[in-house]
Structure 1
Amino acid sequence: MSTELRTAPLDAVSLDPAVLRAELWDAVFAGDEYTATTLVQRALDDGHDPESVLIDVIAPVQAKVGEEWAANRMSIAQEHAATAINDRAVAALSMHPAARTAPERGRITVACVDGEWHALPARLLAEVLRLRGWRVDYLGAQVPVAHLVAHLHRTGPELVALSSSLATRLPTAHATITACQAAGVPVVAGGAAFGPGGRYARLLGADAWAADARRAADHIENVPIARPHPGHQQLDDLPHLDDQEYTMVTRTRPALVRAVMRGLDEAFPAIRSYSDVQRERTAEDLAHIVDFLATALYLDDADLFTDFIAWTASILTARGVPAHSLPPALDLLAGELKDFPRATRLLLCGAERIAAPRPVSFAPARNHP
């Protein structure tokens, strides 16, 4: 796989999406923005369907970027550069004459949950909807709930397409869904955060869910979505939140991380030889563990936490860090949370998952930074 920038003129582009995917991947991996954007423009010049380029070419290339990062074959900097190039490829497509469609349908708002910075899935959906003739307000990454609702009142869209890739943003997604529906606007949820088959989208009260941009556009186009009835409360959806475990774990997150870091000096002696940078990375990993624990408490879903622990173990192994560093951390965290039965049960399940590994049922959307 070449990592040299290509500057020679490109020949005609194959209409086979697999061939175009491979060529785009080479350019993205090499950090060659010129070749990547030229490939997309040339494909449209040669008659490639714009929607197919978005869904069958750019989206799979971006998914591979995440896989390569997870396997430690791309650095964080390379992953960020690759994502930026894919975003530029989408922009190049949107400006091409073949992708210009007059808006003849209703208005749709596309936004990411507040705290969600993976904006490319939402951008892909926005462009697919535009290609199909919708008027689209694409609000991008990290949209605060209050600003989103103000936009809905001002513009009156037919629905909101809400995207999230980070499972830890699901409590915020719940608040966002509830606020949009209270404003009388239905919500179609999408993104890896909402779990296999969209199970968390249904749990959190979304009006619909779709696995990808094409299926989301198909659903919006073909399945009527009724305006919601305002008035339901979040606790109506998740009565287990009455026990306050989610709230307490969330509020004490910094203290929990500090306590476990102190305890690891005794429970996992190898950490004493860590550099300052390694200790900082360990603290970041602990913070992610607490975040996923809190989210699993919010949803009352053990699989979300145990899948994340198994995924974290695989990430550590790919980076040469022993996965047996995780059980001591989970034990220490359980000791800090001994008065919280649901939390301690989840931590025990996480430790058991490492001891008896099985395939992860889905990529638990911590994904790449």
Structure 2
Amino acid sequence: MSIHTPHRAATGDTVGQLADDLWTAVSAGDERTATEVVLGALERGVDPESVLLDVIARVQGKVGEEWAANRLSVAQEHAATAINERAVAALSLHPAARTAPTRGRITVACVDGEWHALPARLLAEVLTLRGWRVDYLGAQVPGPHLIAHLHRTNSDAVALSSSIATRLPTAHAAITACQAIGVPVLVGGAAFGPDGRYAFLLDADAWAPDARAAADRLAAGPLPRPRRDHQQLDDLPHLADQEYTLITRNSAALVRTVFTALEAAFPALRTYSELQREHTAEDLAHIVEFLGTALYLGDEDLFASFITWTAQILTARGVPARSLPPTLSILAAELKDFPRAVCILEHGTAALTRPDHGSRPYAPVDRSTAESAS
């Protein structure tokens, strides 16, 4: 497997030091040193899987935390992520990470519209290390392309990744399409909830909270082949009425209307620069998009989690989060004939006014959302 020292399990101290060294390099934008840290760990015999999951993934988690706290800009976050991706690529080519396939074939892909590819790439590398033949398709894979690939390769299963909850309707379509041709689907990523609640709601065949758990699940035995009586699309609440369809179809007009009304309700908006106004419109579009997803899933807490997280992000950037309640109120007035949407918006407003709203769980959103509001 390797021409170097046999692999050894990394101790907590080793992992911590490697993660610290990698973070120092990544946060400084030093790709050369970051790669040297990763390859040096392999040369010393540290298990490649541990380097991937206990070092690189850990540092990537810190990248997200530092961006949320406004200690990294979007550009710095993108650069750091790119360095981590190249560190993974360097690791995959090292002799210590060469493993002959001894298991079946797995396709790893991101949901269409999902650009956060590093979690899927980490899983693909871990599965490769564990002896699977892996087809890694990368970010934003359109459903028809995914299905065409499965027809061509006869994969044993699909591992589908999504980090942003607004991609869940698209994920649902991909899950259903894979199952329709008899291929089981394991899903993972922050979009599916910390406890996998949306994975089960969308009837995925399996869910894992992280790459190591996903690899363990696949190693435990084949995923069950999809049943003929699998849940159909019409089991979800979004087809019980037309709210989801009408709101998502008319989202651009809705954003324009709310923006105009917000200028009257929130006078500070009138002093914004043209760029700030553009960013505010983008933020409104994200709010409507999350509202649509909450309608699709029938989950008020998803929207409340997103809106309170947005308030925290705006506050960290010195942007007044007090504009959020009037925004939701205006949106509710525009949607007064949509009772489920109004209920979700009221739930979000109530969450904003609770003194403990800062303790609500993190809701993933496109990294440009809150940064752009500043």
Per the alignment, in what secondary structure is the counterpart of residue 112 of structure 1?
strand
Structure-1 separation of matches of 2:82 and 2:28: 13
Look up the match of 1:7.
none
Aligned-pair identity in percent equals: 69
How many Å apart are 1:47 and its aligned residue? 0.7
- Structure 2 partner of 1:65: 63
1:329 to 327, 330, 333: 327
Distance 1:70-1:51 versus aligned 2 partners, 3 A rule: same
Aligned to 1:53: 51
Within-5 A mapping of 1:31-110: 31-110=29-108
User: Structure 2-normalised TM-score?
Assistant: 0.93
Aligned residues of 2:108 and 2:138 also touching (Cα < 8 A): yes
Match of 2:7 in 1: none
Cα distance, 1:363 vs. partner?
A: 1.8
Letter in 1 for 2:278: E
DSSP 3-state at the match of 1:16: helix
Query: Structure 1 residue 244: deviation in Å?
Result: 1.3
Unmatched 5+ stretches in structure 2: 1-9, 369-374
Aligned ranges for residues 53-202 of structure 1 at < 5 Å? Answer: 53-202=51-200
1:9 is matched with: none
Distance in 2 (alpha carbons) for counterparts of 1:208 and 1:217 = 12
For residues 237 and 319 of structure 2, the distance between their equivalents in structure 1, rounded to whole angstroms, comes to: 39
Q: Does 1:276 align with 2:309?
A: no
Once the two structures are TM-superposed, the CA of residue 367 in structure 1 deviates from its matched residue by 5.1
* 1:208 alignment partner AA: A
Q: Is the 8 A contact 1:311 1:360 kept in 2?
A: no
Partners in 2 of 1:150 and 1:231 — Cα distance?
24
Map of 1:365 onto structure 2: 364
Further displaced range: 238-247 or 85-94: 238-247
Tell me, what secondary structure is at the counterpart of 1:74?
A: coil
Moved more, 105-114 or 242-251: 242-251
Q: Which amino acid aligns with 2:150?
A: L
Shift of 1:230: 4.4
Query: Equivalent of 2:241, from 240, 243, 246?
Result: 243
Distance in 1, Cα, partners of 2:235 & 2:218? 24
Post-superposition offset of 1:240: 4.6
- Residue 254 of structure 2 is matched in structure 1 by 256
Instruction: Give the conservation status (yes or no) of the 8 Å contact 2:291–2:303.
Output: yes
Deviation of 1:361 after TM superposition, in Å, equals 4.1
Residue 192 of structure 2 aligns with an amino acid whose one-letter code is F
Name the residue aligned to 1:10: none
Q: Which amino acid aligns with 1:247?
A: T
- Whole-angstrom CA distance in 2 between matches of 1:44 and 1:125: 18
In 1, distance between residues paired with 2:54 and 2:343?
41
* Distance of 1:233 and 1:197 partners within structure 2: 20
What secondary structure is seen at the aligned counterpart in 2 of 1:37? helix
Aligned equivalents of 2:228 and 2:176: distance in 1? 9
Matched positions, count: 357
- The amino acid that maps onto 2:363 is P
**215-224 or 132-141: which moved more?**
215-224
Instruction: Using the TM superposition, give the Cα deviation of residue 223 of structure 1 relative to its aligned residue in structure 2, in angstroms.
Output: 3.9
In structure 1, list runs of 5 or more residues that go unmatched: 1-12
Following TM superposition, by how much is the alpha carbon of 1:264 offset from its aligned partner in structure 2, in angstroms? 1.1
What is the CA deviation profile of residues 61-98 of structure 1, one whole-angstrom value per residue up to 9, with x for unaligned ones?
11111111111111110000000000001001000000
Q: Is the CA contact 1:76–1:368 (under 8 Å) kept in the aligned structure 2?
A: yes
Normalised by the size of structure 1, how large is the TM-score? 0.94
Instruction: Work out the CA distance in 2 between the residues paired with 1:178 and 1:231.
Output: 12
Quick one: structure 1 residues 285 and 361, their matched pair in 2 at CA, closer, same or farther if it must change by over 3 Å? same
Distance 2:363 2:296 in 1: 16
Indicate if the aligned counterparts of 2:203 and 2:231 stay in contact, CA closer than 8 A.
no
Residues 173-216 of structure 1 show CA distances to partners (whole Å, capped at 9, x for unaligned) of: 00000000001000000000000210000000100000100000
Give the whole-Å Cα distance in 1 for the aligned partners of 2:149 and 2:315: 45
Q: Secondary structure at the match of 1:110?
A: strand
Matching residue's letter, 1:150: A
The equivalent of 1:266 in structure 2 is 264
Alpha-carbon deviation of 1:360? 4.2
Distance in 1 (alpha carbons) for counterparts of 2:228 and 2:35: 45
| Matched position secondary structure for 1:197 | coil
Corresponding residue for residue 342 of structure 1: 340
Shift of 1:242: 2.1
Give the CA deviation at 1:160.
0.1
Q: Is the 8 A contact 1:203 1:237 kept in 2?
A: no
The CA RMSD measured in Å over matched residues stands at 1.4
CA positional deviation for 1:359: 4.1
Mapped to 2, the partners of 1:209 and 1:309 lie a distance apart of: 26
2:202 partner letter:
L
Q: Give the aligned residue type for 1:43.
A: A
In structure 2, how many angstroms separate the alpha carbons of the residues matched to 1:259 and 1:365? Answer: 26
Find the counterpart in structure 2 of residue 297 from structure 1: 295
| Paired amino acid for 2:357 | R
What is residue 371 of structure 2 aligned with on the other side?
none
Separation in 1, partners of 2:83, 2:183: 33
**C-alpha distance in 2 between matches for 1:182 and 1:111:** 17
On the 8 A contact 1:125/1:217 being kept in 2, the answer is yes
Q: Which amino acid aligns with 1:113?
A: V
Paired amino acid for 1:68: E
Residue 22 (structure 1) aligns with: 20
Instruction: Describe the SS at the equivalent of 1:308.
Output: helix
